[in-house]
Amino acid sequence: MNTGCRKFFELLFSNRFPIIKWVVTLVLVVNLSSCAEAANSQEISINPFMKASPASEISGTFSETAPPNVIQALRPSLEGYQPQVSILSPQVDEILQDNIVKVRLQVKDLPIFKDPQWQLGPHLDLILDNQPYIAVYDVNQPVVLSDLSPGTHTLRVFASRPWHESFKNEGAYTQTTFHVLTKTEENNPDSKLPLLTYSRPNGGYGAEPIMLDFYLTNAPLHSLAETNPEDTMSNWRIRSTVNGESFILDRWQPIYLKGFKPGKTWVKLEFLDNQGQPVKNAFNTSIRLINYQPNGQDTLSKIVRGELTADEVRGIVDPTYTAKITATEATPTPATKAEKQPIPEVKVPEVKVPEVKVPEVTPTPATKVEKQPVPEVKIPEVKSTPVASPPVAAEAKVTETEESNLPSETMENPKSQFQE
């Protein structure tokens, strides 16, 4: 090896470590840049294992806090799903000839159901125009919307978790615009502009914190504001106003709020552009009225207060789950010794039968029947009336023949007939 080559290799190896450091630094910079770009292009997700942090004040009355512990424990069970939602009917831009609409929905890669015990489960939220949503737990049956006003209407549907937090992956949301009898200008969002869909809070609540959630369509990434100064939407914000107190949100993820007073509260959400001005599009300003009554006994209120454990309510995220009692949880029932109890002597009370006095019966004196003498019946003596002798002149001769015809007794004793 000549002298020049030797000097070259000596110089190369003497500086080998600074070169390696430079290469490693370059690789790290490239990797960090790619990670930053990937983070800007993905949905912001909540770390399900983060610990509850102290509430941070976001306005004079309200403060943001971490999600309830049970919800953080249940959330990973649904992280593997990427629901794909479709509206089968009505069709886009369809003109209907009736004001009763049967809405048919479809969802893939997400089991939707309602747990029979806890009455919660993954579902679809259906919104007609800018009205409060309808929770759909069964897509096999159509949702019937009746008494629709003539004109244009828009349906928006998105997949939701059991605690009403919307899925935010691509395909979890869809919308369609249709018409009843004729087309009109209202309820017809511009597909080229960002669209805000209000989700929560809505309805009644029985515990704090209360979740605020929304869905965004056509909202550009914040990172585009740095690369394209002329873009007016990439630095968007969401202005939330609760009972007159406003605060700004720059993250597309749910937040949990404390500070609500019992009773009714109104909540307004607005989509703002880079200059903080509301973006004019249908539904980009939405207002809801909620009713907060502490100590609610519904399942969600008990979950928020921590009165139910994740294992007890895991059936709301897994339809095949059945709660099992482990050996450590099962409390053995102590054997009860049956003590022989003495049988108390039952004294039969002596019943005194009252003596019934039988009234003395005075004997009735025997009636002496005097023998009455039978009077002797005297047969009256019948005296025969003497027969007057006929005059001699009229005496008839009794012939010898007539005499022979008379009975002998009569002839002998004429008195015997009378005596008898």
Per-residue pLDDT of the chain (420 residues; tens, 9 = 90+): 555 555 544 554 455 545 555 555 555 544 444 443 333 333 434 443 344 445 566 778 999 999 999 999 999 999 999 999 999 999 999 999 999 999 999 999 999 999 999 999 999 999 999 999 999 999 999 999 999 999 999 999 999 999 999 999 999 999 999 999 999 999 999 999 999 999 999 999 999 999 999 999 999 876 655 566 666 788 899 999 999 999 999 999 999 999 999 999 999 999 999 999 999 999 999 999 999 999 999 999 999 999 999 999 999 999 999 876 555 455 556 555 556 666 666 565 665 655 656 556 555 555 555 555 555 555 555 555 554 444 444 444 444 444 444 444 444 444 444 343
Q: In the structure encoding, which two tokens stand for residue 273, read together? A: 């552009």
Residue 7 lies in a domain: no
Strand bridging mode 285-292 / 203-205 = parallel
Q: Is 275 helix (H, G, I), strand (E, B) or coil?
A: coil
Structure confidence at residue 130 (pLDDT): 95
Task: Answer whether 135's CB lies under 8 Å from 143's CB.
Answer: no
Cα angle 244-256-266, degrees, rounded to a multiple of 5:
30
Helices (H), 316-420: 400-405, 408-412, 416-419
Structure confidence at residue 220 (pLDDT): 83
Residue 27 lies in a domain: no
Q: CA nearest 133: which of 142, 141, 125, 121? A: 125
Structure confidence at residue 409 (pLDDT): 47
Structure confidence at residue 60 (pLDDT): 84
- Rounded CA-CA distance 140/163 in Å is 22
Task: Answer whether 402's CB lies under 8 Å from 410's CB.
Answer: no
Residue 404 lies in a domain: no
Q: Given phi > 0 = left and psi -120 to 50 = alpha, else beta, which region is 109?
A: left
- Rounded CA-CA distance 206/240 in Å is 21
Residue 284 lies in a domain: yes
Q: CA nearest 92: which of 15, 191, 198? A: 191
- Rounded CA-CA distance 2/182 in Å is 93
CATH code of the domain in which 231 resides: 2.60.40.10
Residue 385 lies in a domain: no
Residue 409 lies in a domain: no
Residue 370 lies in a domain: no
Full domain range(s) for residue 206: 52-316
Residue 398 lies in a domain: no
Task: Give, as one character, the DSSP assignment of residue 315.
Answer: G
- Rounded CA-CA distance 86/106 in Å is 5
Question: How many domains would you assign to the chain?
Answer: 1
Task: Give, as one character, the DSSP assignment of residue 165.
Answer: P
Q: In the structure encoding, which two tokens stand for residue 121, read together? A: 């489960």
Structure confidence at residue 64 (pLDDT): 95
Task: Answer whether 40's CB lies under 8 Å from 32's CB.
Answer: no
